[in-house]
Structure formats: C-alpha cells, structure tokens
Amino acid sequence: MNNLSNSPKANGFRMPGEHEPHAGIWMAWPDRADNWRNGAKPAQEAFIKVAMAISKTTPVTMIVNESQYQNARHRLPSDIKVVEMSADDSWMRDIGPSYVTDGKERVGIDWEFNAWGGLVDGLYYPWNKDDEVAAKICEILGDRSCRAPLILEGGSIHTDGEGTLYTTEECLLHPSRNPDLTKEEIEHQLKEHLGLEKIIWLPSGLYNDETNGHVDNILHVVKPGEVVITWCNDEFDPQYEISRKAYDALCTETDAKGRNIVVHKLPMPGPLFITEEEANGIDASNGMERTPGERLAASYANFLITNNQIVYPLLDAKYDEEARHILSELFPGYEVTGVKAREILLGGGNIHCITQQIPKI
C-alpha cells in the first residue's frame, strides 16, 4: 500500500468521520515529568476518568511504558485493556493510526511523527518510540498499515467521512513539518491516503497552541456539512480574530459534496493561565516551556465523539454547562459526559488529543 500508484484512495478506501461507529478507543498512559506535573500522578487520574467515561459505550485499550505497567494495571478498571508498549508521551491522537476502510477491511495510515516540529520547534527529542506506535497498534489488531511519506499528527486533521478534510495552514504549512512539499503536494498526499475530494483550510488554530495550531483544538465536525468552532466574544483577546477568520473561511467554502457548511459556536473557556504552583510541579526541559502566567490553549472543541457519546473537557465552571447544553443540542440522543480536564490541558492538549478511534467495519 506504500506506493501511491496503488493508493488507499485508488483502492476504494476512505477515512470515516468520528461520528461513525467505533470498535474501540486507544489511549496512552502519561508518565513524562517534563510535561505532566507532580510525576504525572494528577494527569494519570484524569486519564483514568476519561477512559472510564469512554468505556461506557466503547472498549478502551491503554498502552503503557514498561516502568508504569503495574501502576496502570492496578489503577485502571479491569474492563480497560492495558498493553505494554513503549511511547515517548501520551498523545494517542497524534501517534496512533488514522484508519481508512473500504467497508471490508481496515487499514491504518501511519504518518511520520516528529514531536510537533522536529529539530525546528519540536517539543521533545527523541520521538522514535512515538513514531512506532501506529504500526504496532495495527499489528496487534491484525490490520495492515500504510506508512505515509508525510509528517503529520492526527490532531491536525478532521474528516467528515464523505470526502472533506478540515485542517489549518498554520500547522500543515509550518516549516517544521513538510518544508519540501507545496500546499498542493500536501493536499495530494492527504487525498490519496484518506480517500478525500476536498481540503478546507482554516488560517490558524487556537491561540498559543504548542502544536502549531492543530485543527482539533478549534473545530470539531458534528456531521457532514456541520462543524462547531471555539468562539471568542472579547475583541481584545487574541483568539477573537482567529475565530472570526476561521468562521469566514468556513462560511465562504462548500464541502466535497457541494454543501454550504453550517458553523456552530462553543464558548471559549477562561482565558485560562498556568499557575505558579502548577508550573513548579513540572520538570524543566528544552522543548516544553511552562512559565507561570502563560496562556493555556483551552477549548471545548477538543471533545471525543464515540458511539453515541460525547466526552468533553470540563475546563471553566463559568462555561462548562453552556458547553454541555450546546453539545447536547448538536448531538440529540447522545450521552454527553463531562470530565475534569485541567490536568490534561496543562500538558498541552485535551480529550480529543489523548484518544484515537478504531472504526468498526
């Protein structure tokens, strides 16, 4: 499958939307002390709560480094599978496979991973264990995998399952990802690997997002032709312009099926900032700076859709209920589960970033 003349698209494969049925969700146990405060113990509690919420509707598998295997196995409920597998950190959305299917078979697309920027502005080095995770998961599941010649993280794309992909120029055109490829060449790789017809580009992701603006922190596909984005009403906030430009880009586009895109809005939590106590609990490192007072890239759009359930981050008591209400209206008949997620946010992402779905075929 690695030769593009024999691409997944040419073979009738497409990437399903997240709203389509899932066979399982994979996660990775956090343990890096230079990303997760206090030896990652508070983050581990948050990951357990996320896994338990998901497992109400979907089987969960947690990969864990050897040194943490016993701890994870004892602390996670027995219905959550724990698999020892090496990883450099715990962002399964970005290191796991992006699955495509032809209705008979599932194939995992295995992107090249460079820790959100490699030696240009990556967040840690080395990242080789993370880079091997997607192929290992496919092998465990008995699925073929296809190594794609593109540096890309799963959180930098959202698909609708009907030929449309949403992404940001800030991330995919960043010099730290694929500087030798043109925008058209990147589009070609995406279309051929994921079975797409159209790419919709937002200019940027959320303000101060250390992933170089992953789309999953500002937008989520609700269903084909409908998305929800993080909105900001304060014209003095840097997020104000970013959200407006995203809205304008979406409203002036049609999707792969020629539909006008319906755009819903979620409130922006906060703004939220890292406290001195939180920053002091994180080991110093070269890539990930954690300074007291730094703005956190907080967004309710960073939720997971899985088998008639929405698992969304609780981030700010002032807006958590409003976010729940909006998500309940957007997903009628779905269970909407909020999980306290500040500890995940402190690591640089949220619930969507730490999960990866395996589609049902």
CB of residue 299 to ligand KQY, shortest distance in Å? 10
Which one, 193 or 290, has the nearer CB to ligand KQY? 290
Any contact of residue 205 with ligand KQY (CB under 6 A)?
no
Q: In what order do the strands lie in the sheet with 304-305?
A: 304-305, 309-314, 335-340
Q: Do residues 138 and 145 lie in contact, with contact meaning Cβ atoms separated by under 8 Å?
A: yes
Which one, 224 or 313, has the nearer CB to ligand KQY? 313
138 is annotated as an active-site residue: no
Binder of ligand KQY out of 26, 29, 47, 91 (CB under 6 A):
91
Any contact of residue 347 with ligand KQY (CB under 6 A)?
yes
CB of residue 289 to ligand KQY, shortest distance in Å? 10
CB of residue 216 to ligand KQY, shortest distance in Å? 7
Please give the biggest Cα pair distance in the chain: 54
Q: Do residues 50 and 27 lie in contact, with contact meaning Cβ atoms separated by under 8 Å?
A: yes
Which one, 115 or 256, has the nearer CB to ligand KQY? 115
Any contact of residue 166 with ligand KQY (CB under 6 A)?
no
Q: If you search the block for the tokens 């509690």, which residue do you land on?
A: 45
Any contact of residue 348 with ligand KQY (CB under 6 A)?
yes
Q: In what order do the strands lie in the sheet with 198-202?
A: 158-159, 164-168, 198-202
Any contact of residue 35 with ligand KQY (CB under 6 A)?
yes
Which one, 91 or 111, has the nearer CB to ligand KQY? 91
42 vs 197: CA distance, rounded Å: 42
Any contact of residue 30 with ligand KQY (CB under 6 A)?
no
Query: For the chain, where are the alpha helices, taking DSSP H only?
Result: 41-54, 69-75, 92-95, 118-121, 128-141, 169-172, 183-194, 238-251, 276-280, 320-330, 342-346
Binder of ligand KQY out of 232, 263, 288, 346 (CB under 6 A):
288
Q: What share of the chain is helix, strand, coil (3-state, %, to 5)?
A: 30, 25, 45
CB of residue 215 to ligand KQY, shortest distance in Å? 10
Any contact of residue 94 with ligand KQY (CB under 6 A)?
yes
CB of residue 194 to ligand KQY, shortest distance in Å? 18
Residues 6+ apart with CB under 8 A from 34: 124, 282, 283, 284, 285, 288
The amino acid that residue 244 corresponds to is: R
Any contact of residue 210 with ligand KQY (CB under 6 A)?
yes
Rg of the Cα atoms in the chain: 19
The amino acid that residue 312 corresponds to is: Y
Q: Would you state the structure tokens that stand for residue 22, as one six-digit string?
A: 């899932």
Binder of ligand KQY out of 123, 151, 261, 314 (CB under 6 A):
123
Query: Of the ranges 76-84, 165-173, 208-216, 236-244, which one interacts with ligand KQY (CB under 6 A)?
Result: 208-216
Q: Would you state the structure tokens that stand for residue 171, as one six-digit string?
A: 């991330």
Q: Would you state the structure tokens that stand for residue 332, as one six-digit string?
A: 């009628």
Which one, 155 or 225, has the nearer CB to ligand KQY? 155
Binding mask 291-330 for ligand KQY (x = CB under 6 A): ----------------------------------------
- Tell me which residues touch ligand KQY (CB under 6 A): 35, 91, 93-94, 123, 155, 210-211, 214, 288, 347-349, 353
Catalytic positions: 353
